[in-house]
Amino acid sequence: MNLTDVTLKFEINSDDRDCIFDILNSSGFFYSYEIDVAVEIADEYLNREDHNGYFFIAALQNGKMIGFTCYGEIPCTKGSYDLYWIAVHNDFRGKGIGFKLIEETEKHILSLSGKRIYIETSSTEKYAPTQGFYLRTGYFLEARLKDYYKDGDDKLMYSKVLS
């Protein structure tokens, strides 16, 4: 597979809800309660006309979602966005899909007059590939909240100024 086989869509539909579950579950990075939150966000997006401020970009191969981002403007800010989720199905990781998704997410946020993106992740060794991905895509470590998730598991907050 190469990236020319991957198409993007800037919305999700009810069929994608199960794909979100499958993508996150396949990764081995997320607890079941975290996956439940992602599916709840998808439900909010699907059930509210204003999508509750959430945006999705889905990466598709042969019409099936294999990766996605979910993001939204941070309440009470002007131009600051949280990237809530970026995930690629484990069978498709390492093929550039994550880079393509984050690039398109940044372009879309810029088109919405967004100026900054913030991303949070865990400091544990398990998340070292995630941390490296954020650094390779131009994000820098903005803050570290000690023992945030539990003892020995800090919250890392990355950011990027868009231009």
Residues 6+ apart with CB under 8 A from 55: 10, 70, 71, 72, 108
Fold of 3-161: Aminopeptidase (3.40.630)
Q: Report pLDDT digits (tens) over 16-60.
A: 999 999 999 999 889 899 999 999 999 999 998 889 899 999 999
Instruction: Choose among 60, 47, 71: nearest CA to 16.
Output: 60
φ, ψ (nearest 5 deg) of residue 78:
-125, 105
Quick check: 1 pLDDT over 70? no
**4 pLDDT band (50/70/90 cuts)?**
confident
Q: What pTM, to 2 d.p., does this model score?
A: 0.93
Say how far apart CA 12 and CA 156 lie, in whole Å. Answer: 28
Domains of the chain, residue spans: 3-161
Q: Which amino acid is at 71?
A: Y
